[in-house]
């Protein structure tokens, strides 16, 4: 399993604690430090509606210019904005068994077959 997110994000911390507490091994990719490839964003968008990859509730989104926010409405123009402002990407993103889960929801994690 691979977990994508930002290490100091409270939601990511909750997700990692859940995984640790349940003995689920994972590799963590901090996209604040390591970035995220456009091919990875496209891969995620093939599995969930693209709009769900955008974190519109955080301060990073609120600080974007109107022009940058407008670019987030289409995948082709959103990817460079997402790469420049990685905090605007929903987190965490868990990849496992060819699937992904966005965010942290105990009931959804409990139902997932991480093994």
Q: Is residue 22 part of a domain?
A: yes
Spatial separation of the C-alpha atoms in residues 69 and 81, rounded to whole Å: 9
Query: Looking at residue 82, which CATH number applies to its domain?
Result: 3.40.30.10
Annotated catalytic sites, by residue?
9
What is the Cα–Cα distance from 54 to 13, expressed in whole angstroms? Answer: 19
Number of domains comprising the chain: 1
Looking at residue 115, what is its pLDDT?
66
pTM summary value: 0.91
pLDDT in the model for residue 113? 86
Judge whether 89 lies within some domain: yes
Q: What is the layout of strands, in order, in the sheet containing 27-30? A: 27-30, 2-5, 93-96, 99-102
Which tokens hold the place of 98?
Answer: 């060819």
**How many angstroms separate the Cα of 76 from the Cα of each of 42, 70, 112?**
9, 12, 31
114 falls in which pLDDT band (50, 70, 90)?
A: confident
**Domain containing 44: what range?**
2-106
Residue 114 lies in a domain: no
111 within some domain? no
Report if residue 79 sits inside a domain: yes
Whether residue 115 is contained in a domain is answered as no
């Amino acid at each position: 399993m691979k977990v994508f997110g930002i290490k100091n994000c409270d939601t990511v911390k909750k997700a990692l604690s859940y995984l640790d507490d349940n003995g689920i091994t994972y590799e963590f990719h901090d996209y604040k430090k390591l970035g995220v490839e456009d091919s990875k964003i496209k891969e995620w968008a093939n599995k969930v509606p693209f709009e769900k990859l955008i974190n519109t509730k955080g301060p990073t989104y609120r600080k974007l210019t109107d022009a940058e926010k407008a670019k987030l409405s289409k995948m082709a123009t959103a990817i460079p904005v997402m790469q420049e402002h990685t905090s605007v990407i929903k987190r965490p993103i868990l990849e496992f068994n060819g699937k992904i889960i966005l965010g942290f929801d105990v009931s959804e994690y409990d139902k997932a077959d991480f093994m």
